Structure 1
Amino acid sequence: MKAWIGAAFAAALALPVWAEVAPMGDDGLYKEPWMRDTFKDLREDLAEANDEGRRLVLFVEQRGCIYCHKMHEEVFSLPDVAAFIEENFFVVQINLHGDTEITDFDGESLSEKDAARKWRVLFTPNIIFLPEEVSEDSTAIEAAVAVMPGAFAKGTTLDMFTWVAEKRYELDNGEDFQRYHARRIQERDNGKFD
């Protein structure tokens, strides 16, 4: 009997432990503690991100999105993922169907839903990574260094955030994101890192 209880206890400890899912706001979107509540003037947000030594990233989400829920429940709630994002990124959340006013880099002011339409965002989650400098005639989607459309597991998500944080898109080494991600998968499989 004691062996069975010990085995059950050991099995319970081996199960993954998820952190709590972020609370949901009045707009029906999850509110991670590392998300910024700004006036959504992307030029100001970029300047503030740069002042903090972080990269500006836009999270486009929508109420009732099962894939957004999956990302918040299974990926963004993980302490190492949350810590990496908080340390390296300035995250502004955009509601795919929202009416809050946004000022794009080109100076145009429009609602969140019109900005999403302008940026050709059709699905959520959609994560738009911005460079440190954006010309005043560019839109967010034109300036993006990478876009992560859809829900992905921890490894892919961390690899994309790391690839952007390390500015690997600038490197002329022939290692685009897919090659970088494949190499990181192999390194994880070989026990180099988690």
Structure 2
Amino acid sequence: MKHALKIVLACWLSIFAVPALAEVGEDGLHKEDWFSLTFKDIREDIDSAREEGKRLALVFEQRGCIYCKKMHEELLTDPEVRDYIKANYKIVQYNMFGDEEVTDLDGEVLTEKTAARKWGVLFTPTILFMPETAPEDGTVVQAAVSTMPGAFGKWTFLNMFRWVHDKGYETDEHFQKYHARVIEELRASGRLDAE
């Protein structure tokens, strides 16, 4: 009886186990162990991501950001979201008010906070999706194939990563139409009641 109780308890814990949450670093940003630590040279990071068979995405966050916390605690702990992003993207984290050096595609060396201003990042989290190949000239904001300002619900968040990965920005299917189509497919399959 005691052994059976242990098995039932172990099964219950595995079903209701809470995924490990990202630690908060000294800079006040949540740290995912699968985010990439780089020298923040955008051209090198795009090349490195491509060599890994992935796309580069830059995520801007700030200390005390409740939406960044939501992204880490609700979205990036969801196995479907996390596993898709880990398999297809190299994520590099930026502190919107940070002082680490960043090298833009045009060669200009900036701090994270001056890069945020130059690239028009106003909200956190903001995710900038980079092209598969670095352009010959221009800046990050000119090269970005898409931008996601803010943390959304699971399907909007995940579908943006899928849309970029599938190069939806090169087609006539705008993200909103793509997202609506995917939501309808999820409803039809019974995986989703409402978004």
Superposition TM-score, scaled by structure 1 size:
0.88
Deviations 1:67-106 (A, max 9, x none): 0001111101111211111100010101000000000111
Distance (whole Å) between structure 1 residues aligned to residue 29 and residue 70 of structure 2: 12
Q: Which residue of 1 aligns with 2:160?
A: 160
Identity of aligned residues (%): 54
- Assess if the C-alpha contact under 8 Å between 1:18 and 1:78 holds in 2: no
CA deviation after TM superposition for structure 1 residue 16, in Å? 7.6
SS for the counterpart of 2:90 is strand
Runs of 4+ in structure 1 off by over 6 angstroms are none
Deviations 1:14-44 (A, max 9, x none): x986522211111111111220000101111
CA deviation after TM superposition for structure 1 residue 193, in Å? 5.3
Distance (whole Å) between structure 2 residues aligned to residue 18 and residue 167 of structure 1: 34
Q: Which residue of 1 aligns with 2:169?
A: 169
Moved more, 16-25 or 158-167: 16-25
Distance (whole Å) between structure 1 residues aligned to residue 133 and residue 17 of structure 2: 39
Q: Which residue of 2 aligns with 1:57?
A: 57
Distance (whole Å) between structure 1 residues aligned to residue 92 and residue 30 of structure 2: 12
- Assess if the C-alpha contact under 8 Å between 1:34 and 1:85 holds in 2: no
Q: Which residue of 2 aligns with 1:92?
A: 92
Deviations 1:168-190 (A, max 9, x none): 1112xx31100000011111111
Aligned alpha-carbon RMSD (Å)? 1.9
Letter in structure 1 aligned against 2:180: A
TM alignment of 1:181-192, pairs within 5 A: 181-191=179-189
TM alignment of 1:31-70, pairs within 5 A: 31-70=31-70
Q: Which residue of 2 aligns with 1:77?
A: 77
Moved more, 150-159 or 131-140: 131-140
- Assess if the C-alpha contact under 8 Å between 1:23 and 1:32 holds in 2: yes
- Assess if the C-alpha contact under 8 Å between 1:59 and 1:127 holds in 2: yes
CA deviation after TM superposition for structure 1 residue 119, in Å? 0.4
Letter in structure 2 aligned against 1:101: E
Moved more, 134-143 or 97-106: 134-143
- Assess if the C-alpha contact under 8 Å between 1:25 and 1:31 holds in 2: yes
Query: How many residues end up aligned between the 2 structures?
Result: 181
- Assess if the C-alpha contact under 8 Å between 2:47 and 2:134 holds in 1: no
Q: Which residue of 2 aligns with 1:28?
A: 28
Moved more, 183-192 or 119-128: 183-192
Letter in structure 2 aligned against 1:179: K
Letter in structure 2 aligned against 1:152: F
Distance (whole Å) between structure 2 residues aligned to residue 77 and residue 183 of structure 1: 25
